[in-house]
Amino acid sequence: MPARPYAITGYVKLEVFSTLGEKVAILIDGYMEAGAHSVTFDATKLTSGVYFYRLVSGSLVETRKMMVVK
């Protein structure tokens, strides 16, 4: 299977934001090898609700919504 065009080794940043746009966590900020990775996010200090996470890797910038439910 051919590699995806955005699957490259390089700088990666993964951040979590509140609905007000406040940065509540930086989960990854550094150089990473190409491939699949996972991150554990400890949301115990956050209230239940909607949050957004943004992944920046090379030319890829992706923002998605997530729910924190306690």
Q: What is the pLDDT of residues 2-57, one digit of tens each?
A: 555 556 789 999 999 999 999 999 999 999 998 889 999 999 999 999 999 999 99
- pLDDT band at 70; cut points 50, 70, 90: confident
Domain-wise residue ranges, the chain: 10-36+46-68
Query: CA 45, CA 40: separation in Å to the nearest integer?
Result: 14
| Distance from C-alpha of 39 to C-alpha of 9, rounded to nearest angstrom | 17
pLDDT at 8: 79
User: What is the pTM (predicted TM-score) of this model?
Assistant: 0.84
CB contact set of 40 (below 8 Å; sequence gap of 6+): none
